Amino acid sequence: MIRIFIGFDPRETVAWHVLTHSILARSTEPVSFVPLALNNLKALMWRTRDPLQSTDFSFSRFLTPHLSNYEGWSLFMDCDMLVLDDIAKLWAMRDEQYAVMCVKHNHVPRESSKFHNEKQTTYGKKNWSSVMLFNNAKCRSLSPEFVNAASGLELHQFKWLGDDGLIGELPAGWNHLVGYDKPCADVANVHYTSGGPYFNEFVACDYADPWFEEKQHMLRADQRS
């Protein structure tokens, strides 16, 4: 079973559902989905919302190992994504020598704001945490107490590991940053990091057409060829 935890923000509900549909439609192995919705996590997330926090799941993502009882592996994904390949291929890349695996972007945003005029921040390892394969037993430092007390940089820059050598690397195509990475035909996972086509101002962004097609397939399954 591929355990997938997906960040949930009420402003992007449609994105969450289209993402899960895109995974189900292509996966060759059983999957389970857990939405990291704050209203479901009241006993585990009590920190005050950070003014630099652009989504509800900016910090709750780091509860994934705890919610997995620190056993086995789990996958975390932002909800503003569209999977175009078999998620089992990503799952097969798990490597026991690492505590967490991700795409190691060198992402320096050009803009100062993104969707809903949220502040666009710049820091080392930006967007590394938007897709993470967690080797849960090696992530016991991510207790609810730590996740609620740690700074954003401590969490998103993986300082809780104490050793960057514990961070494994995934192929770039599994976290393709729309608007930053050059479009290509073999992208496995599209990430609308600045804003997706479900926002009016981004309806013509790169990879908008595949997203609208997936949404239509989700609504009318008989239209999938």
Residue predicted with more confidence, 186 or 93: 93
Query: Does the structure show a pLDDT above 50 at 57?
Result: yes
- Beta carbons of 107 and 130 less than 8 angstroms apart: no
- How many Å from the N-terminal Cα to the C-terminal Cα in the chain? 27
Q: What's the pLDDT tens digit per position in 149-202?
A: 999 999 999 999 999 999 999 999 999 999 889 888 889 999 999 899 999 999
Using a pLDDT cut of 70, give the percent of the chain over it.
90
Structural element, H or E, at residue 73: strand 73-77
Considering Cα of 128, then 134, then 140, then 143, what sign does the dihedral take?
Answer: positive
Query: Does the structure show a pLDDT above 70 at 109?
Result: no
At 105, list the tokens.
Answer: 């972007």
Q: What is the mean pLDDT of residues 95-115?
A: 78
Q: What integer pLDDT is reported at residue 54 of this predicted model?
A: 82
Q: How confident is the model at residue 104 (pLDDT cuts 50, 70, 90)?
A: very high
SS3 of 2, please?
Answer: strand
Q: How confident is the model at residue 112 (pLDDT cuts 50, 70, 90)?
A: very low
* Strands ordered across the beta sheet of 189-191: 81-83, 189-191, 176-177
At 102, list the tokens.
Answer: 């991700």
Q: Which long-range contacts (CB under 8 A, 24 or more apart) does 47-54 make?
A: 47/147, 47/148, 47/149, 50/152, 51/119, 52/119, 52/121, 52/152, 53/152, 54/114, 54/115, 54/118, 54/119, 54/120
Q: Which among 131, 133, 130, 113 has a CA at the least distance from the CA of 121? A: 113
The CA R_g of the chain, rounded to the nearest whole Å, is 17
DSSP 45: -
Q: How confident is the model at residue 116 (pLDDT cuts 50, 70, 90)?
A: low
Query: Does the structure show a pLDDT above 80 at 80?
Result: yes
Q: Which H, E and C letters describe 174-209, residue by residue? A: HHEECCCCCCCCCCCEEECCCCCCCCHHHCCCCCHH
DSSP alpha helix (H) spans, the chain: 13-26, 64-67, 87-91, 144-149, 152-156, 208-219
Phi, psi of 20 (to 5 degrees): -60, -35
Q: What is the mean pLDDT of residues 36-59?
A: 93
Query: Does the structure show a pLDDT above 90 at 203?
Result: yes
The answer to pTM > 0.75 is: yes
Q: How confident is the model at residue 30 (pLDDT cuts 50, 70, 90)?
A: very high
* Strands ordered across the beta sheet of 167-169: 31-36, 2-7, 73-77, 131-135, 100-102, 167-169
2-223 CATH: 3.90.550.10
Residue predicted with more confidence, 116 or 47: 47
Average of per-residue pLDDT values in the chain = 92
Q: What integer pLDDT is reported at residue 152 of this predicted model?
A: 93
